[in-house]
Structure 1
Amino acid sequence: MQLFPFGHATHPQWQMAAGLVLAQLRAQMTLPTYAAHPTLALVYITDHYAASAQDILDHLGAELPTVTDWSGTVGIGIASSNVEYFDEPALAVMLCALPSDQYRVFSGVAPLPATFRPYTALVHADGSTPELGELVAEMADRTVTGYLFGGLAASRGDVVQFAVGGNGNLRGHGKAGGVFRGGLSGVAFGEGVQIVSRVTQGCQPVAPERRITAADGNLVTELDGEPALDVLLEDLQLTLEQPQAAVAALRQTLVGLTEPSDDVASTPVSRSGHFGEDVIVRHIIGLDPRRRGVAIAQNVEEGMKLAFCRRNVEAARADLVRICAEIREEVEPEELPLAAATALAAADALAAPTPERAIAGAVYVSCSGRGGPHFGGPSAELQIVRRALGDVPLVGFFANGEIARSHLYGYTGVLTVFR
């Protein structure tokens, strides 16, 4: 598979940014290592451009007439290889060269046809959609592997999604023109599109894991048979007699939740001290001194495991490097032809991408609460990805929630590569 052309740019006028992106795409499409005739485009814009979403899509479609399928959304920030655009007008596009019978773009007005059997799916969603968690789980059930990747659109203005399918569904789009609001949209992939995906958590446990032994909706009343509030204060070494200090500490504290398991040996925390992919991180939203309970931003049930945690920069950095290393180990061949191995050995890890690296392109969806500032500076998170994964084509966005498998996450990064 050839490399996917990609481009990114920032400019106060979207027309100028689009021109810069198109110039990058066209230049790469003339190179022998990049795909010359891609048909699927992934488009991400910052919310500065949200009001012009339809004009942007129309312009890109006219300039790239051979690209028949479009998918994407809006973020507070967007990402590309080695760069993040936060709180500024920006656009990123990646053109994917995939067999036309191995993917379908879908949306609320153009659902997946019954004849197409998806194995995985890239999903964009509006966080205000009712029963969103159930819709995501239902979409995951429709795939053979149960694996979704993507995130919730993030915008201070119009929350838009792009979805145009060139496989006969255009008539079904009605007057929408390919720009949508609400619900789910994205791209479903067939068995022939091979991906490798990993989730990195941005938090580290600061106390032992507990089992929820009593709960009422989103209020945890008992942990390991003890009043939940008492356990929280003990684990964090806090006292309500010093309310200011307690409130300050609680604002930095979250909870990592894991679904009930029959495996008594199972644990949400890895040997390295990081949360695993089964853990969903949620806010503490209140305390109930009368019932000695802790309210969190998620309905819970008895049997679930809970660990108090905090966002930790060093843990997030190490875990991001770990998932990149796992992906490289899985996709790169153990044995390369002599010429390819010699070339890779002689080149820097950040040299121009080559087909031998076996990654055609990547999509990275990270929490809008992460990004460069959380990792120490502008574009720091994507610079970590580039150093660890190599200089591969990449686009993505910073979301209001991340999607992986059938779950909605927070404070995570979801990195997916096309083999």
Structure 2
Amino acid sequence: DTFPAAHEMLHAVRRVTGGRVLVGASGAGVLSERREVEGETAVSVLAVRDDRLVATPFLVPDQGAGDADVAVAVAAQASATLAEGGCLMLLPDVAGFEPSTLLGGLDAELGAVPVVGALAAGSPTFQLFATDATRGALPGVALSGARPIIGVAQGCTPIGEPYVITRANGNVVLEIGSRPALTVLRDAVTATPGGPERAQRAGIFAGLAVDPAKSPLERGDFLVRNLVGADQSSGAIAVGDAVRVGQTIQFQLRDADASREDLELTLAGVAHELDGRRPAFGCYFDCAGRGQGLYGVPDHDVTLIKKHLGAFPLAGFFGNGELAPVGRRNFFHTYTGVLVVFPA
């Protein structure tokens, strides 16, 4: 339990960095550009001074007040900073967190502002703001003046083909391409590189196209969601999110190899967007379900980040879920790595 030492740690960080306001959260592990620390007590600190950047830190003390009210409270503190664009970084507590309500409320209040971050992790979870350590709160910072590049690695590789959902009800997919959904899923598993054996060892998920107007669809255009049930008699499958008729779906496979490949492709995309510019600094929000438990080796993701983008100041932690946009909409993710890079 690191919570009792959090106040002392905050004072030490302020003393060393000279930072006036600190924003942070507990994690299942922490990381920097040098290494990832799991299973040990550690702290990762990023001190930023950038004349281009306007930063407005804030704290909603009671996240349990209701996510719609929390969204209004966040917007009241962040809207002036975000009037000219930018991004919103949130570090919520997992207790009482309802992502669709909060993100929907923020969208209504702030418009299409990218939301990034991760949920606090560890035991117990806690949040950090200024000189205080607290629980059940929502700290964050609104950033504008320097447009970040955001890479979202959902850890999956697509299997089978993309098809249109032709019958659905709520979160239940009844037919895909006028065929029973379960039949289409089985065909995708059979065609998986490495065969059904790999699919059985890995996890199979649904990829839902976010933008109905986008064509052709690419890897990053799909929102990955859990498969939560199947009915053998009807051939229906249940997905961990609402689906609609006309939406494109493609099944996804997640294991260490798929996650590594996806991160490599995501980082190549970030490097392309940098277009020769050097990263000034960045944050990386990694899922507690990744790390050594997934890859079997330490420092996997930060090693790949350095390989593709070079060395630059980086801080982050392993959280209980991640926040990041897919297309122009913000979503809650799991098993995902979210990299936020500010170009020099």
TM range (shorter): 0.7 to 0.9
Q: Which residue of 2 aligns with 1:295?
A: 238
Deviation of 1:312 (Å): 4.1
Query: 2:134 and 2:248 mapped to 1: Cα distance?
Result: 38
Counterpart residue type for residue 252 of structure 1 = G
The CA RMSD measured in Å over matched residues stands at 3.0
Instruction: Work out whether 1:93 is the aligned partner of 2:45.
Output: yes
- Larger mean CA deviation between 278-287 and 198-207 belongs to 278-287
Instruction: Work out whether 1:214 is the aligned partner of 2:167.
Output: yes
Counterpart residue type for residue 286 of structure 2 = S
Equivalent of residue 187 in structure 1, options 141, 164, 171: 141
What pairs up with 1:61-76 in 2 under 5 angstroms?
61=14, 63-64=15-16, 66-76=18-28
- 1:30-66: CA deviations, max 9, x gaps? xxxxxxxxxxxxxxxxxx52453334324433x2483
Relative to 1, partners in 2 of residues 1:93 and 1:260: Cα closer, same or farther, differing over 3 Å?
closer
- 1:53-85: CA deviations, max 9, x gaps? 334324433x24831111111221211113111
Identity %, equivalent residues: 29
Runs of 4+ in 1 over 6 A off after TM superposition: none
Contact 2:17–2:47, Cα closer than 8 Å, also in 1: no
Instruction: Work out whether 1:198 is the aligned partner of 2:151.
Output: yes
Instruction: Work out whether 1:411 is the aligned partner of 2:335.
Output: yes
Relative to 1, partners in 2 of residues 1:193 and 1:235: Cα closer, same or farther, differing over 3 Å?
closer
Relative to 1, partners in 2 of residues 1:92 and 1:130: Cα closer, same or farther, differing over 3 Å?
closer
Query: 1:312 and 1:182 mapped to 2: Cα distance?
Result: 33
Q: Which residue of 1 aligns with 2:208?
A: 257
Counterpart residue type for residue 136 of structure 2 = G
What pairs up with 1:83-162 in 2 under 5 angstroms?
83-99=35-51, 102-109=54-61, 111=74, 112-113=76-77, 116-118=80-82, 119-140=86-107, 142-143=109-110, 146-155=113-122, 157-162=123-128
Specify the SS of the correspondent of 1:360.
strand
| Count of matched residue positions in the alignment of Structure 1 and Structure 2 | 320
Counterpart residue type for residue 358 of structure 1 = R
Query: 1:295 and 1:162 mapped to 2: Cα distance?
Result: 38
Q: Which blocks of at least 5 consecutive residues in structure 1 are unaligned?
A: 1-47, 165-176, 239-244, 334-356
Contact 2:284–2:338, Cα closer than 8 Å, also in 1: yes
- 1:67-104: CA deviations, max 9, x gaps? 11111112212111131111221111111114598111
TM-score between both structures, scaled by the size of structure 1: 0.68
TM-score between both structures, scaled by the size of structure 2: 0.81
Query: 1:115 and 1:365 mapped to 2: Cα distance?
Result: 24
Deviation of 1:197 (Å): 1.6
Query: 1:153 and 1:382 mapped to 2: Cα distance?
Result: 20
Relative to 1, partners in 2 of residues 1:141 and 1:416: Cα closer, same or farther, differing over 3 Å?
farther
Relative to 1, partners in 2 of residues 1:188 and 1:232: Cα closer, same or farther, differing over 3 Å?
same
Contact 2:93–2:119, Cα closer than 8 Å, also in 1: yes
Instruction: Work out whether 1:163 is the aligned partner of 2:129.
Output: yes
Query: 1:293 and 1:115 mapped to 2: Cα distance?
Result: 43
Contact 1:140–1:148, Cα closer than 8 Å, also in 2: no
- 1:186-242: CA deviations, max 9, x gaps? 11012x23322221231001211222222233222222222222322233249xxxx
Query: 1:232 and 1:359 mapped to 2: Cα distance?
Result: 41
Relative to 1, partners in 2 of residues 1:183 and 1:306: Cα closer, same or farther, differing over 3 Å?
farther
Q: Which residue of 2 aligns with 1:366?
A: 286
